[in-house]
Structure 1
Amino acid sequence: MLGGELHGTLPLVLCLAARGTLPCEAIGRQLALVLRRTWQETKAAIAALTELAEAGGHHEVWRILRGLLPELVPGAGTDRRITVTHTTWVAFAAEVAAWTDARGEIPVIAGHAGTRRKSRFAHECRNLHALLTAP
């Protein structure tokens, strides 16, 4: 379902989403596994999810991201390095959260949002965390 492959499956995905039978969180977890092995898929995956969101599946895209982020983003204090890819996904998640008016803390994001780091990644985590925890 990455890149141009989504176009042909978009009607099916939207139909499953409309029925409430699209396993969004499971898709997110599986996508995180793929991305950790093949970082070059990030642009194609974001393009596919953007296409799905623009076609009316924005809430499902958010649910996919809620499944993806905890699996993809290393926890604060772990020895896994933060990369540009992590930053890209958190920034994209903030966009989608704003589109959907999403709420509900994501612990791994909250952990990074609470640090004093001044990196772009920490900034994006603080931005996403603020959107998710706003009253």
Structure 2
Amino acid sequence: MRRRTWRRSWPASATWAGGRLPHHLAEEPRGGVQARWEIEGLAPGFRLAALTLAARGQFPAAEFGRAVAELIRHGFVTLKRITLALGDLAAAGAHAEVWRALAVALPPLLPGPGERPRAGLGELLGVAVRAAVLAGGKGEILGLAEMAARKGSSLVLHEAGRLHEAISS
């Protein structure tokens, strides 16, 4: 089976904590930074590495959450793909790490007043609810209370309300 690889230019204006780029970003010889996402083979390796780090108490949840938010905001990774991977990790027992990562990733992904939510945000919020409940997560996520207070029947608003209730009580 042939592997497919997507390549997109990383914006020159993008910054990273400590000036370091994630391991999956590599600088091209001509100076442009490229993100590579290989379809086959990446998910199993990621899952094993993440579970191993979680078992050792070494999973960099905050850094991972920031990376996830940046990659999604710049269109390198879809919410659907991240949601599946994080849901799998939470189901495998790394729910505390998934919760800590999503607590960091969600604020920049939540829509502001008058903005439409990204496709797949409801499902990601559902993973966050499950992980927060299993991990006993508490706290506040910037913008979540406002989203939970909105009127409507969409999955995004329903899951935002559930998450807000779970981490506030």
Task: Give CA-to-partner distance per residue, 1:69-103, whole Å, 9 cap, x none.
Answer: 0121123x2x5422332222222211222232322
Structure 2 stretches lacking a partner, 5+ long: 1-23, 25-36
Bigger relative contact order (CA 8 A; separation at least 6): 1
> 1:13 aligned to 50, 54, 60, which one?
50
Q: 53-62 or 11-20: which moved more?
A: 11-20
* Structure 2 match to 1:89: 124
* Structure 2 match to 1:133: 168
Q: Tell me the TM-score normalised to structure 1 length.
A: 0.80
**Cα RMSD over matched residues?**
2.4
Give the Å deviation of 1:131: 0.9
* Structure 2 match to 1:100: 135
* Structure 1 match to 2:5: none
Q: Which has the higher strand share?
A: 2
Aligned residues: 131
Structure 1 stretches lacking a partner, 5+ long: none
Higher alpha-carbon Rg: 2
Q: Tell me the TM-score normalised to structure 2 length.
A: 0.66
C-alpha distance 111-41 of structure 1, shift in aligned 2 (>3 A): same
**Identical-residue share of aligned pairs (%):** 34
* Structure 2 match to 1:27: 64
Which consecutive aligned stretches of 4+ in structure 1 deviate over 6 angstroms post-superposition? Answer: none
